[in-house]
């Protein structure tokens, strides 16, 4: 292995350690809180696990498997994000606080580049 590959693997292992620390904190918070907080924390636990596994498979040079975990991460984050946005829209309309809708529009504007990067291609095999 050349030096560049070794540096890449060290950086991936460092990412895994950061993900592991985040996972430990999230699991601790999950068991210390009530149901509502657990619902909020759950997607982040899933994202942490998939982040760790994605980097693990990148270290093992299993690109296709790592890509699967990358998609799981993105899908989980998108579901959570849109769930929060839908609830915020409902709350702002139900409580007649329409200024929150401006926040939702701004958030969607900044979310747009993330959505453009999320493309699932379906290649036909010949």
Domain contains 125: no
Domain contains 101: yes
Domain contains 48: yes
Residue range 11-68, pLDDT digits in tens: 999 999 999 999 999 999 999 988 888 888 888 999 999 999 999 999 999 999 999 9
pTM over 0.95: no
What is the domain count for the chain?
Answer: 1
Residue where the block lists tokens 């657990």: 38
Spatial CA neighbour of 87 closest among 100, 78, 102, 74: 100
Burial class of residue 72 (count of CB atoms within 10 Å of its CB; 0-12, 13-18, 19+): middle
Domain contains 69: yes
The pLDDT of residue 121 is above 90: no
């Amino acid at each position: 292995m050349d030096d560049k590959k070794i540096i890449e693997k060290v950086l991936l292992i460092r990412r895994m350690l950061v993900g592991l620390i985040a996972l430990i904190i999230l699991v601790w918070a999950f068991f210390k809180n009530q149901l509502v907080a657990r619902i909020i924390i759950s997607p982040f636990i899933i994202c942490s696990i998939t982040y760790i596994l994605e980097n693990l498979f990148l270290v093992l040079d299993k690109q296709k498997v790592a890509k699967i975990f990358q998609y799981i991460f993105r899908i989980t984050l998108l579901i959570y994000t849109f769930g929060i946005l839908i609830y915020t829209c409902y709350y702002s309309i139900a409580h007649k606080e329409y200024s929150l809708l401006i926040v939702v529009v701004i958030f969607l504007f900044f979310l747009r580049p993330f959505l453009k990067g999320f493309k699932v291609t379906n290649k036909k095999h010949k």
